[in-house]
């Protein structure tokens, strides 16, 4: 409520997403999925930011991210600095960072949102405690080649932003978020030969479920999206539209990662 009131006081027209009406009484309202606005202010943690981007879809609307909670890694505005952020927004004192996202394609599944963090193919909950068998390939420059054979809990295909999330926890490399690359990180492999791989952004990554594997689940930014059976495949490419996030403060990215680990 304070953020909305402060924005109105600075001469901005402030709308509340209709989904939040049960928590805050404010008018006018707008629908995040359909109504055009100049910027969307997100108050919450990383999950809230990711879901907001999923709802925005292909639109170029930039986000102002205000942290609510201790570990909102994607949000750069502390909750007590919202007024500073609004002032700088009005004055044009900010930069817009464009973060690469991933598009997922799989037969029979429609409406899969772009991933800011990662696409994960993991052992189905029905086969908990058992390994899945995956073959990871990449198509690049007119040539198809094998990248990894994974026998384990699954594989994570991540963005540079997502390199600090699930992929990092699985032993993947930490990559500057403004880079353009695709990270492939095996999840709990039983082979010492399965290691993370960094590919060019122009690669098409294909994850194929082997015929002798258990069923697997497809997750996009932590949201269960589809089941894949033996013989099915998942194709991951760079999304045509990046995520656009307004940044107000200079940040030491790698120090932030280390602080989050404490």
* 3-class DSSP state of 51: helix
67: closest CA among 223, 247, 250, 254? 247
Question: Starting from the edge strand earliest in sequence, which strands make up the sheet with 95-99, in order?
Answer: 40-44, 63-67, 243-247, 95-99
What are the φ/ψ torsions at residue 147 (nearest 5 degrees)? Answer: -115, -50
Active-site positions?
46
Distance between CA atoms of residues 243 and 40, nearest Å? 12
Residue 28: cis peptide before it, omega within 30 degrees of 0: yes
């Amino acid at each position: 409520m304070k953020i909305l009131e402060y924005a109105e006081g600075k001469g901005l027209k402030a709308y509340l997403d209709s989904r939040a009406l049960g928590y805050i009484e404010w008018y006018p309202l707008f629908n995040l999925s359909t109504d055009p606005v100049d910027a969307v202010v997100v108050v919450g943690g990383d999950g809230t930011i990711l879901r907001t981007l999923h709802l925005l879809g292909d639109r170029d609307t930039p986000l102002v991210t205000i942290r609510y909670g201790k570990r909102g890694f994607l949000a750069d505005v502390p909750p007590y600095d919202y007024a500073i952020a609004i002032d700088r927004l009005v004055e044009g004192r900010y930069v817009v960072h464009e973060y690469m996202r991933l598009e997922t394609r799989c037969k029979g599944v429609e409406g899969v949102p772009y991933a800011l963090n990662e696409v994960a193919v993991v052992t189905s909950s029905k086969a908990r405690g058992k390994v899945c068998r995956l073959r990871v390939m990449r198509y690049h420059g007119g040539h198809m080649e094998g990248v990894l054979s994974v026998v384990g809990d699954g594989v994570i295909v991540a963005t540079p932003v997502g390199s600090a999330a699930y992929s990092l926890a699985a032993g993947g490399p930490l990559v500057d978020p403004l880079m353009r690359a695709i990270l492939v990180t095996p999840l709990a492999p039983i082979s010492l030969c399965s290691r993370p791989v960094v590919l060019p952004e122009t690669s098409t990554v294909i994850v194929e479920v082997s015929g002798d594997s258990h069923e697997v689940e497809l997750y996009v930014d932590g949201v269960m999206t589809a089941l894949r059976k033996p013989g099915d495949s998942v194709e991951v490419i760079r999304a045509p539209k990046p995520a656009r996030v307004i940044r107000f403060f200079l940040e030491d990215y790698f120090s932030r990662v280390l602080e989050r680990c404490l």
